[in-house]
Amino acid sequence: MSLKMNPLYRLQYEKAQNGHVLLFPEGMVKLSESAAEILLQVDGERTETDIKSALRDKFPDAPEDMEQDIDEFLSHAKEKNWVLDE
């Protein structure tokens, strides 16, 4: 099942925040670099497995448990309704 961003949220880089943020009608969430890297992979076509593979390719020296961290973050993002299963 592919993942897509909830249309109520917009991911963008904010120079003033010196990083990526998630904008929504009620406010904004400043993201860590790793959270932003994960959400940048969410395009409506990639599955969780695709995202983990792409990030492993991009960061081959990342710790062995990177995939578990991605799973945990995506679970949190789904709970917050930032990301939707399509």
pLDDT in tens, 74-85: 999 999 999 999
Total count of domains within the chain: 1
Q: How many CB atoms lie within 10 A of CB 9?
A: 19
Q: pTM to 2 decimals?
A: 0.94
Kindly report the CATH number assigned to the domain that includes residue 77: 1.10.10.1150
CA distance 62 to 19: 20
Q: What is the pLDDT of residues 30-81, one digit of tens each?
A: 999 999 999 999 999 999 999 999 999 999 999 999 999 999 999 999 999 9
- For residue 69, give its domain range: 3-85
Q: What is the pLDDT of residues 8-30, one digit of tens each?
A: 999 999 999 999 999 999 999 99
